[in-house]
Homo-oligomer: A and B are copies of this chain.
Amino acid sequence: MTDARILVIDDEAPIRRFLRVALEADGYGVIEAATARAGLASAAREAPALVVLDLGLPDADGLSVLRDLRGWSQIPVLILSVRVDEAGKVEALDAGAQDYVVKPFGVKEFLARVRSLLRDRVSEIQPSVLTIGPLRIDAADHSATLDSHPLHLTRREFDLLWMLASHRGRLVTQEMILKAIWGTAHAGDSQYLRVYIRQLRQKLRDDATNPRFIMTEPGIGYRFLEGS
């Protein structure tokens, strides 16, 4: 039915498994993350169509995950929580969540809410494999090939490539990239970016002054050029 991928951020393995089974039965791909840190990293690397976020994470306040995410992404977020009080709901929704479901919940309602969230955004859903000219990028197994030859990319390099390529044609600001890959605390360290952009370009056999792939937008950020 659909190849939309959904990121589930929850520290409890049974709940993750429960959600995985339910979502996969509806035809979605599921990515799991057990911690806030891993969840944010996955959100940046995988560009899922939806994030299901449990607020009861051990390593960080769930809302801080949401706020961090909203610093660089508009991916819709469905919150799971045991809190039934209004203040908690209001806080989460105002922090940028699209929906809020109280545990325990019915799986049919949950799936219906997921369908509703994804329905209006079908056109924005990223496939897990991008093909741009001679370049092929697979988010599922973090591999990339250029002219059918495998590219040996490090994690940071792949994250950066995916971030740019999944926004192909559009401008991506330095701040967005830094927040997504290095975290909000490093939003000003643009030097990181220059170093990794350089390494990426080298592996893509790209030229900074006459780029095939990564175009610099001086003072703003970068843009991945659209393949013909």
Interface contact A93-B115, CB-CB below 8 Å: yes
Tell me which of B141, B142, B170 contacts A141 (CB under 8 A): B170
Interface centre among A90, A119, A218 (most CB of B within 10 A): A90
Tell me which of B90, B111, B171 contacts A108 (CB under 8 A): B90
- Indicate whether A202 reaches chain B with its CB closer than 8 angstroms: no
- Indicate whether A94 reaches chain B with its CB closer than 8 angstroms: yes
Interface contact A90-B74, CB-CB below 8 Å: no
Interface centre among A96, A115, A120 (most CB of B within 10 A): A120
Report B-chain residues with C-beta under 8 Å of the C-beta of A99.
99, 116
Report B-chain residues with C-beta under 8 Å of the C-beta of A217.
142
Which parts of A142-195 form the interface with B (CB within 8 Å)? 142-143, 154-155, 170-171
Min CB distance, A151 to chain B, in Å? 14
Instruction: Produce 1/0 per residue, A202-219, CB < 8 A to B.
Output: 000000000000000111
Query: What's the dominant secondary structure at chain A's contact region?
Result: mixed
- Cα A219 to Cα B108 in complex, Å, equals 42
Interface contact B93-A113, CB-CB below 8 Å: yes
Q: How many subunits of this chain does the assembly comprise?
A: 2
- Indicate whether A14 reaches chain B with its CB closer than 8 angstroms: no
Tell me which of B94, B113, B219 contacts A154 (CB under 8 A): B219
Interface contact A93-B112, CB-CB below 8 Å: yes
Interface contact B116-A97, CB-CB below 8 Å: yes
Interface contact B155-A219, CB-CB below 8 Å: yes
- Indicate whether A109 reaches chain B with its CB closer than 8 angstroms: yes
Report B-chain residues with C-beta under 8 Å of the C-beta of A119.
96
Which parts of A94-132 form the interface with B (CB within 8 Å)? 94, 96-99, 106, 108-109, 111-113, 115-116, 119-120
Report B-chain residues with C-beta under 8 Å of the C-beta of A109.
86, 89-90, 93
Report B-chain residues with C-beta under 8 Å of the C-beta of A60.
none
- Cα A219 to Cα B141 in complex, Å, equals 13
A residues near B, CB below 8 A?
74, 76, 86-87, 89-90, 93-94, 96-99, 106, 108-109, 111-113, 115-116, 119-120, 140-143, 154-155, 170-171, 217-220
